[in-house]
Amino acid sequence: MSPQSKNIKKRLQLGKLKLDTLLEVTKGINNNLSKNDLLNLYKTVLLDELKIGKLLLFSFNKKEWTKELCLGTNCNEINVEKDLLEITEIEVLSNDANKKLKPFDVIVPVFHKSEPLAYLLLGDFDGEKIEVSPIIKHLTFIQTLTNIIIVAVENKRLYKENLEQIAIKKEMELASEMQTMLFPKNLPNNDEIEVSANYNPHQLVGGDYYDFIVLNRDEVAFCIADVSGKGVPAALLMSNFQASLRALIKRTSSLSELVIELNKNILANANREKFITAFIGKYNLQTRNLQFINAGHNPPLLLVGHRFKQLFDGCTVLGVFDNLPSVTEKNITIPKDAILTCYTDGVVEQTNSKNEEFGMENLELAILQNKDNSTEKIVDAIINKLDDYKKEVEYKDDIALLCLRLK
């Protein structure tokens, strides 16, 4: 066979190798080969078919460069950002190149538009010098093959990440549904008392909480609370607080004893990493006596006629001190047709586009303008006024409202 025929045959063989390789890689991608299988296929082509002795492959993963393959050399010295990012075209390395790159002869960058996806470093071409190695003719093919492999690996990562995000979202939606179940569903509206509430978590779940409990024929208890922080950790502590409150409120002899026990439970579960502010009240429908403790919470507003009274008395926040410094249990007699509005700090601290807080004045105005309406309409009026105040600004915290008309 003549030299010319041999060259033609060799070119045909290499052409067939390239085509077969691309078909095999495409088939592997369609058959959903794992990342490791795809990289092994890629490695086999470079090492076994093209007889390359050294290779180092970096890919860009999210916000950092990751070493995908390293064979035949020490791969720990090279830093992509310092040593490779300036390279945008296939580059044959000269003798005076970066010392860290001396084990390699060629750098093959892979870009998508203007963004680098990968860098492939090659060396030791079957004992030949780079200038005479036939590999020099196949660098464009190697670049294309690398591009296909890297994009396939990245797509697999994004697909997996998307599935994980969908799973997390479903879990959060389930958690949100379960948290909603913790709130009382049937609030009373009768000749003695009318109650309405609203809860709007900043995320799917949150750390604000309200409750209403019928203790006996004459007494009811209610609570509004706010766990420091947001999201799942706050929601978990809130659910624990609710369970403790409901378990203890009928067993303890006083609200003072109740908050002392709640404080112990929060310390045991949160280990001082979170705290809770709370307002807890007991109301006697017959005597009209309201007994309450405010544990560092925003003071509820008691509207009698056209005048507001803020209910401050109580103790410090729960979950900070082993022993609460002092606990004041307050008793007041409620006049007829008084309105008590409890709220969390997300209401009064919500800002508008000028970074101005909604504040107590707007809250009082919304209550006063709707004092002759139902408690449900009072709660709706507060939310509407808040929405109108903040306009396009997003809510920055959980929001809870509990409104009672004591007839």
Residues 55, 91: one domain? Answer: yes
| β-bridge pairing 307-310 and 219-227 | unpaired
Instruction: Name the DSSP letter for residue 100.
Output: G
Cross-strand pairs, 302:
309, 340
**101-140 per-position pLDDT tens digit:** 888 888 899 988 888 989 999 887 655 544 445 666 778 8
Looking at the 3D structure of the chain, how many domains does it have?
2
Residues 383, 245: one domain? Answer: yes
**223-264 per-position pLDDT tens digit:** 999 998 777 888 888 889 999 999 999 899 899 999 999 999
206's tokens: 């949150």
Rounded to an integer, what is the distance from CA 360 to the centroid of its chain?
31
Residues 280, 326: one domain? Answer: yes
Compute how many other C-beta atoms are within 10 angstroms of the C-beta atom of residue 235: 27
**144-173 per-position pLDDT tens digit:** 888 888 888 888 888 887 877 777 777 667
At 258, the amino acid letter reads L
Residues 251, 368: one domain? Answer: yes
**CATH at 75:** 3.30.450.40
Note whether residue 177 is domain-resident.
Answer: no
pLDDT at 358 over 70: yes
Note whether residue 136 is domain-resident.
Answer: yes
pTM for the model: 0.66
**293-343 per-position pLDDT tens digit:** 999 999 999 999 999 999 999 999 999 999 998 999 999 999 999 999 999
**CATH at 381:** 3.60.40.10
Contacts of 92 (CB under 8 A, 6+ apart): 105, 106, 130, 136
Q: Which structural domain, as residue segments, surrounds residue 98?
A: 3-161
At 345, the amino acid letter reads D
